[in-house]
Amino acid sequence: MDIATYVNSMRDPAGLPFYPIVFQFLLVLTFALHITMVNLVVGSTFLSIWEIWKRNSFGLRLAKALGRVITVGLSVAIVLGVAPLLFVQVIYDPFWYTATSLSAFYALMFLVVITLAFYSAYGFYLGNRNADVASAKTGWALVAAGFLLFTALFIHMLSMEQLMPQHWKQWIVSPSGVVSFSGGEFHGIEFGRLLHFLIPSFAVTGVFLMLYSAYFKDREDYDPDYLDYVGKKGAWMAFWASAIAIGAGFWWLGLTPTGFHFARNPIFLAGAILGVVTTAYLGTSLHKPQERAIPSALLMFSSIFVMCCAREALRMKYMSKAGYSIYNYPVNTDWPSTLLFFATFAMGLFVLYFPALAAFEAGRTKSGQVATLDPSIGKKAVSAMIAWFVIVAGLGIIVSVKNGVLF
Amino acid sequence: MYPFWEVPIFTSGMVIALIATFHILPCHLATGAFWFTVFVERKAYKQNRPELLEFIKKYSLLILIFCFVIGSLSGVGIWYAATVASPRGISGLIHNYVWGWATEWVFFVIEIASIYVYYYTLGKIDSKSHLMLGWVYAWAAWISMIIITGILAFMLSSGKWVETGGFFDGFFNETYWPQLLTRTAFMFCIAGVYAAIVASTLANKKIRKELVRSAGLWGVAGMLAGVAFAGWYLYRLPAHAKGLWLDESLPYLGHLLNAAAVAYAVVLIWFVVCCLIKPRLVGPVSGILILVILFLGIGAGEGFREGVRRPYIIDQYMYGNQIVAKDIPAKHVKAEIPRFNKDGFLAHLYFRPNKIDPKNRTDLLRAGSVVVHHECGNCHALDRFGKIRPLPVLLANLSPESPGDIQDFLDSLGDYPFMPPFAGNELDKKAASEYLFSIVRR
């Protein structure tokens, strides 16, 4: 059996419930959201350590604010990460399941390490809530940073192993015919690629600081000098990290197989051009971070999204080398469940407007005061979910009665 | 077949079971807790008692730190564990229920957004809006349970799906409603335990007593309703599952159910005696002890659910060893046993020795190891000191004199209601018998 026969025969026999390109789009979109949040967490962790080491009041205040960002951001990153984890299993199942089975030990260690990173982040946040410049500690943040780097390494390795199907067999089947079941394989580290995911952490965190500075500028109880410090630091970080990330991107490009001619790929070229434009724009924003915060954020996310598309195009190149394409995955269209998801997705955006608005208004209100929202917004959000429940439960009862499985 | 991952002594299946059981506590707390939270917060605003908000702050922080660290990670952990232990099993579920999981993910995002905003805006936005945030979280969390229960129930009873392949035909099956209601009732019970523990740490004695009693009432109501729904759930089990349990084909299932019943009885007594009659007896120590008992009870209950599913990982569709058991014409799926019996199981494997000489014993042992790991290793430990159905011990009880005796046993596997039939041709069977005989003698 050759590798092409293997990967194609390992597709799930039930096929896909909808067209593969839809899953692919959702995979890329949700991965872009996930990696942006991961970048924010990693960048904030390292920056908060640096700011405490500087031992000044602005640095401490920023580090405390970032302490909260790390814990909330890590939660959000994990939840956002569920979606690409789901969609990759749908269309790239032979690659995902083989790589994780080969490296089962590390796949599970990933969970242990990220849990430790999470609690270390909480240790940093809760431990420094009442600290002053002299007493602030970085120990837990250092531990969290170390664990976060390990999670990055593990997930990078699992991603890389998926791109190396031609090596899979030799990893676990010895020439004499002994098959290993240890799940302890660890292969494929490529630092150019890993750095291209890690360095943007500082760019994303920089843009976040610009947004932070712009958001709080109307709060009377926020020192304008502090916000100026944060905004300029953010713009500086965003610019330099973006520039270095472009360099890492070209290093990664140099590591791709020459036969792919990936430098000529239109999606890669679009990503590279957008990256350069974003960096140039950030370069002109160094002295006006508050005014340029929102366009910088939009450009930054667009760059990340297009680079995620380029990464997907690269993955398809690797997989086509193994004789695999998602576009001929058998489809057994299931319209009812497809409709369920997209209707719920639209409803979810509607519901999310309410907590987003509440957070925005509360953050904009001076300490000690209470923000007041239009009560109908919250009611509509709750009503939307109750309506979802009534419709789905009603459908469930009808289906159950029709199939004779209710009583 | 994907590469096999062997966990010595415990089996990879036990890794999933442990993570899944551990996940139940935070996830049921996450789904149930906010109904209690909004109940208390509403009371605080309605009766103008801001002192109750101290509890809200503490309780929601616990939910954040416990549920959204351990809960979300152990949830992802089940996927990872299932991926490495039973990749074709999880793939089968995902390819039928991807839109169900994606729908659940929308509610996860709503949950995480609303709980953080809820926690950080307490006292910073108007009370009506804050209460609404609590309702948003409570509904989103419970709806996530409504969705995942459909997929769990599908694994136990696949309903009309085997005929139609339809998403909702499999989702709303015969055990769905009783399982949903049982889980809903027990989520109030778990929320009650946590609420009582948090309330017992409050400084204000009057509030402490009042909230511990309220938590006790929620707990008792949840437990009584849960027991009633659990009865309905057991009644609705598929005939095959009931057979395994009631005919005592697998006596451990009865023991698990008894253990779960004892654990639930202890928790019920704790609610009545410690929360309702003598609230001062509730404290973090007794509360955590009750949590441990609850954890063991849940483990037993979930173990029962997994056990009565045997020999399938997905009812009627896929065996525990990840081999497709049945034709599903609506999905163009063919059962794999006939194909494996005709062409050979090894012939369909990619990760196998390149050369197998049937006359060479070493070759047969190596090939047999591959067959046995794939066909038996998901459920059986393959080492003598294994704790989960160790094959060397079980086979030694048959006192085999030669590999041939084991081969006869493999021929009869399909006669056991809880075992999948052996899949493979004569070479596969011969290789497996050689290997199994070697581990019995080892």
How far, in whole angstroms, is CA A166 from its chain's centroid? 28
Q: Which chain A residues have a beta carbon less than 8 Å from that of B355? A: 177
Q: Would you state the pLDDT for residue B95?
A: 97
CA pair distance B81, B15, nearest whole angstrom: 7
Q: Would you state the pLDDT for residue B227?
A: 94
CA pair distance A209, A231, nearest whole angstrom: 6
Domain definitions of chain A by residue range: 3-172+187-331, 334-407
Question: What's the token pair of residue B31?
Answer: 């789904």
Q: Would you state the pLDDT for residue B75?
A: 83
* Minimum-distance CB partner of A395 among B90, B106, B168: B168
Residue A199 has pLDDT above 90, yes or no: yes
Nearest-Cα residue of chain A relative to residue B112 = A76
Nearest-Cα residue of chain B relative to residue A398 = B172
Answer for the pair B312, B320: CB distance below 8 angstroms, yes or no.
yes
Q: Rg of chain B's alpha carbons, rounded to an integer? A: 25
Arithmetic mean of pLDDT, A310-327: 95
* Minimum-distance CB partner of A108 among B81, B167, B177: B81
Using CB atoms and an 8 Å cut-off, which of residues 297-356 of chain A contact chain B? Answer: 330, 332, 334, 336-338, 340-341, 344-345, 347-348, 351-352, 354-356
Question: 3.40.50, 1.20.1630, 2.60.40, 2.30.42: which CATH number matches A3-172+187-331?
Answer: 1.20.1630
Q: Would you state the pLDDT for residue B69?
A: 76
**Which of the four pLDDT bands, split at 50, 70 and 90, describes residue A163?**
very high
Query: With an 8 Å Cβ cutoff, are A118 and B330 in contact?
Result: no
B316 Ramachandran zone, left/alpha/beta (phi>0; psi -120 to 50): left
Q: Which chain B residues have a beta carbon less than 8 Å from that of A33? A: none
Q: Give B318's strand partners.
A: B314, B324
Answer for the pair B381, B10: CB distance below 8 angstroms, yes or no.
yes
Q: Which chain B residues have a beta carbon less than 8 Å from that of A176? A: 366
Q: Which chain B residues have a beta carbon less than 8 Å from that of A395? A: 168, 172
3-class SS at A331?
strand
Q: Which chain A residues have a beta carbon less than 8 Å from that of B102? A: 26, 83, 86-87, 341, 345
Q: How long a stretch of residues is chain B?
A: 442
Q: Does A223 touch chain B (CB under 8 A)?
A: no
Cα-Cα-Cα-Cα dihedral sign, residues B210, B212, B218, B223: negative
Higher-pLDDT residue of A370 and B18 is A370
Q: Would you state the pLDDT for residue B334?
A: 96
Q: Would you state the pLDDT for residue A182?
A: 93
Higher-pLDDT residue of A9 and A406 is A9
- CA torsion angle for A73, A75, A81, A85 (degrees, to 10)? 160
Q: Would you state the pLDDT for residue B295?
A: 86
pLDDT tens track, chain B, 442 positions: 999 999 988 888 888 888 888 888 888 888 888 999 999 999 999 999 998 998 999 889 888 888 777 888 888 888 888 999 999 999 999 999 999 999 999 999 999 999 999 999 999 999 999 999 999 999 999 999 999 999 999 999 999 999 999 999 999 999 999 999 999 999 999 999 999 999 999 988 999 999 999 999 999 999 999 999 999 999 999 999 999 999 878 899 999 999 999 999 999 999 999 999 999 889 989 888 998 998 899 889 988 998 999 999 999 999 999 999 999 999 999 999 999 999 999 999 999 999 899 999 999 999 999 999 999 999 999 998 888 899 999 999 999 999 999 999 999 998 999 999 999 999 999 999 999 999 998 7
The secondary structure of chain B in percent helix, strand, coil, rounded to multiples of 5, reads 75, 0, 25
Question: What's the token pair of residue B351?
Answer: 């990760």
CA pair distance A238, A356, nearest whole angstrom: 25
A371 phi, psi to nearest 5 deg: -80, 140
Q: Give B337's strand partners.
A: none
Q: Would you state the pLDDT for residue B349?
A: 96
Using CB atoms and an 8 Å cut-off, which of residues 244-273 of chain A contact chain B? Answer: none
Q: What is the mean pLDDT of chain A?
A: 95
Nearest-Cα residue of chain B relative to residue A100 = B84
Arithmetic mean of pLDDT, A135-141: 93
Nearest-Cα residue of chain A relative to residue B167 = A337
- Would you call the peptide bond into A224 cis, given omega within 30 degrees of 0 as the criterion? no
Q: Chain B: nearest CA to A283, how far in angstroms?
A: 33
Burial, B388: exposed, middle or buried (Cβ in 10 Å; 0-12, 13-18, 19+)?
A: middle
A355 phi, psi to nearest 5 deg: -60, -35
Nearest-Cα residue of chain B relative to residue A15 = B95
* HSE-up of residue B300 (Cα within 13 Å, Cβ side): 19
* HSE-up of residue B93 (Cα within 13 Å, Cβ side): 27
Q: pLDDT tens digits for B331-356?
A: 999 999 999 999 999 999 999 999 89
Q: Which chain B residues have a beta carbon less than 8 Å from that of A356? A: 113, 117
